[in-house]
Structure 1
């Protein structure tokens, strides 16, 4: 809903948008049965009020205030048999209930005031942006445990549910109800100056102050944790940083149809509430033990916990008091050229370097607590004695250090970079026809957590990397979102009688993934290492992804109001390319067995009413 009132030199506006999502079986798959899913009931609401004031023809003021609120709720399925949640560590098949029942409320209040001045050859803007975010969550697990299994036969087809044996049990501190608060205030100034018709300079500075703290909070007693209450912890993370930026555009030729551009930016990363969990003893935590399933019923009972393996979570983690904000340094060089036939060609080269990345370091169990062991990797063909065999050095933990984990969230010196080329060829004929062809070539080089999912292969996720030396084996290379080469074709066509056709066709290279090698007989319990890099060179990608989407819209007039009938068709060609493939080393690896496909063709009909 959008309400706006315009006056001579003022305008006021109010906007609200809301969304409700009810999903009785969220994200089931062939590895996740319906009983292991959550019944989701999520709500999203955003409200904003704005005021624009033209003080003079050259001076204007823009003020806004907003409220965003998300209420997320995921409940266990109502089944006859309530069983503990379990997962096969290597094949990812789930059993029992969902790992956690969860509720979360996330609220963000924001305001912004911008003042702008436009002169004959310059434009200036000053402003302040401020926001405060509140997060309140709760987690509960069946019997406050999570079960870990191993396949009985590691050479069996990993895409079929097979017999498993008990491996370990995680005892959680649930039920637990963490809370976080984040405040951000930023001041900025920007100046655009055109000293000559062929030259434009843009430079500015943004100063960002971000503070995160923990309000007082408590959690009730569970099976492995008593009732807890914690006082507030002020200024747990406090950052004050500057973002300078400068850009130049230069058109050296008299016809002004060619423009060369260059720019440099420093982009400070946002402070997110998840970072505060690393200093919150009231956040989700646990201890993992060897599981001696004496009666072999696949459910944990008291007395079946064997030797301790590891501890994790806010109970055993602190935040470095000198923690620095991560930032990205960006350089862009490009050019744009107007061509005949209303065509415009644009190309940009870029490089982005990430510095001061955040990661946890296991100060309780340092790397010196591990003994290097060289093992034979039979390669992708899983046949010993062939050309793809290799020796990999992995690390066995000293049993005297098991369970002594203590983590520190810090800046351990990790970096990352990505670089590439983006090109665009566009055509537009008034408001009736528009076409754009976009191409990109992209490459990342980064060390991330072991694994191939979006929660592993992403430098923005603070996870297992640096917690033990095995996390460094084969984890440098491309990341999850690196699709190497992409192409997109956009088009819209306004036809007679108020018909509009819009199309989007996309091509992406496949998902980069590493071949995983299972290790089962070490002191710290079973784990895997990346036996090959993600993507090229030397690694693997899934099949390419090609999809075409179409929208057909018919405009009508009903009682003096504009009505649009809309038909959307997604994946028009009904392609079924593999988007995820089996990544476990074994006799079936070279078959490239599919784990996930593109979604099938979907049609959606809608009605838009404007008033």
Structure 2
């Protein structure tokens, strides 16, 4: 039920995953005078395989208890994708120019290639037997990533330092890119169905959206996404045992990719305005032209309209006071942008509604602190504190034909989800987590020691909600995850 966010009946599907990868890592260093050179390779090759079995090859969709549609699946199937290879070569040098200035220089080359071996699947309730030929070079990327960093002792007395750098990083990828265009991957078609009695296998269904299946493609000119990271920090020693610092951190992403259905363009949608009783305000939904229903040709490509950037400032304090040491850091930052990836059709204007906002892991304020203290009896007492503002929430509303009944219009795509509030307009509660540890080392021999430990996690027993139902309806904001409750763990370490 997409309104109540509930699931009834047996588990809809079973998965069986299997994979195998061969990894080789090697490096060599050469140190001479003011240079510390290092070079190496990182090599990975293997495959990922997954089997899907849907119970009945179908799931029925309801809205607040009212049946609206069924999703029929192309199962059973077993898909496989190969990574051959994921190769990286790097060269770096720590170069001390003089007593006050050092440089850290680096260059990395990466090659990423993926393929899909020949495979097939037996027939199911809604599809017949299938076979697919091998697909080579589904992705074939060669990229270079430079890096430069510096550390400058401003006055030459080792008390004031300015550090910074500019670095390029490729976005990590696995076999999921090949999965997205594997014609043997799991897919479903949504069909209108208003009876509580589900259709029988093989029954003729009309008005279905169609399977994506072998209609998924990757643009041969799609680039590998990457980011540039910019950092600068000023660090100052105050007194004999205290240092403070302030730093700026910036990240900007480039060549992000998304999916467009080239068979249905933005001009194939007509705007309709209605007032939702659940929200009490006018909404606009874009209705797909009936003549385009079931037309699918998904193209995964680099989209210049997609972006993401982060800017943050961090303050840090480190100090030692007799038997204690204290660390504290406070960060103010903002991660803003648009969604990217393969789950959204960017030719569908409904998916561009409030789609830009604070990204999923954006936390405006973050406080991190920790301490250690030597209690009497050689008992070590330590703690860590994590405080941060909550993650951004979405607000979604699923439009159905009942919303448009007063206008006498039928929604071609059966249902349509809308983001009615931009990510970040609502947030989860502030988190406050304190963890404590007590430990004591007992030396029982010159080479043997025993250290019993007692850890208390979430000392304040915080129950802040970390995820909840964000679909507008009776279950809105019903928690699905909260902070783990207070936990006492007793353990130990034996060293020999």
With normalisation by structure 2, the TM-score equals: 0.90
Whether the 8 Å CA contact 1:180–1:273 is kept in 2: the answer is yes
- The question of 1:528 aligning with 2:417 is answered yes
Aligned to 1:14: none
Aligned to 2:467: 580
CA RMSD of aligned residues (A): 2.5
Q: Alpha-carbon deviation of 1:588? A: 9.2
Alignment CA distance shift 1:558-1:109 (3 Å):
farther
Aligned to 2:12: 99
- The question of 1:446 aligning with 2:337 is answered yes
Question: SS in structure 1 opposite 2:423?
Answer: coil
Aligned to 1:411: 302
Q: 1:153-178: per-residue Cα shift (whole Å, max 9, x none)? A: xxxxxxxxxxx121111111111111
Alignment CA distance shift 1:257-1:230 (3 Å):
same
Aligned to 2:316: 424
Aligned to 1:601: 486
Question: SS in structure 2 opposite 1:282?
Answer: coil
Question: SS in structure 1 opposite 2:470?
Answer: coil
Whether the 8 Å CA contact 1:201–1:249 is kept in 2: the answer is yes
Q: Alpha-carbon deviation of 1:184? A: 1.2
Aligned to 1:171: 72
Whether the 8 Å CA contact 1:377–1:531 is kept in 2: the answer is no
Q: How far apart, in 2, do the equivalents of 1:519 and 1:307 lie?
A: 20
Q: How far apart, in 2, do the equivalents of 1:89 and 1:588 lie?
A: 10
Aligned to 1:145: 58
Alignment CA distance shift 1:583-1:120 (3 Å):
same
Q: How far apart, in 2, do the equivalents of 1:437 and 1:291 lie?
A: 58
Q: Alpha-carbon deviation of 1:515? A: 2.7
Alignment CA distance shift 1:261-1:518 (3 Å):
same
Q: How far apart, in 1, do the equivalents of 2:383 and 2:370 lie?
A: 6
- The question of 1:548 aligning with 2:416 is answered no
Gaps of 5+ in 1: 1-87, 152-163, 384-388, 449-458
Alignment CA distance shift 1:109-1:376 (3 Å):
same
Question: SS in structure 2 opposite 1:178?
Answer: strand
- The question of 1:568 aligning with 2:469 is answered no
Q: How far apart, in 2, do the equivalents of 1:595 and 1:273 lie?
A: 29
Q: How far apart, in 2, do the equivalents of 1:588 and 1:148 lie?
A: 16
Q: How far apart, in 2, do the equivalents of 1:469 and 1:209 lie?
A: 35
Q: 1:18-45: per-residue Cα shift (whole Å, max 9, x none)? A: xxxxxxxxxxxxxxxxxxxxxxxxxxxx
Q: 1:332-387: per-residue Cα shift (whole Å, max 9, x none)? A: 122111122511222221221111112111112221210012344689xx55xxxx
Whether the 8 Å CA contact 2:3–2:473 is kept in 1: the answer is no
With normalisation by structure 1, the TM-score equals: 0.74
Q: How far apart, in 1, do the equivalents of 2:68 and 2:485 lie?
A: 37
Question: SS in structure 2 opposite 1:315?
Answer: helix
Q: Alpha-carbon deviation of 1:551? A: 2.5
Gaps of 5+ in 2: 402-410
Q: How far apart, in 1, do the equivalents of 2:470 and 2:187 lie?
A: 29
Whether the 8 Å CA contact 2:113–2:140 is kept in 1: the answer is yes
Whether the 8 Å CA contact 2:365–2:389 is kept in 1: the answer is yes
Q: How far apart, in 1, do the equivalents of 2:475 and 2:181 lie?
A: 43
Q: How far apart, in 2, do the equivalents of 1:314 and 1:426 lie?
A: 56
Question: SS in structure 2 opposite 1:143?
Answer: helix
Whether the 8 Å CA contact 1:278–1:313 is kept in 2: the answer is no
Q: Alpha-carbon deviation of 1:566? A: 2.9
Q: Which moved more, 1:569-578 or 1:220-229?
A: 220-229
Aligned to 1:479: 359
Question: SS in structure 2 opposite 1:260?
Answer: strand
Following superposition of structure 1 onto structure 2, how do residues 281-300 of structure 1 map, counting pairs within 5 Å?
A: 281-293=183-195, 296-297=196-197, 299-300=198-199
Pick one of 324, 329, 337 that aligns with 2:223: 324
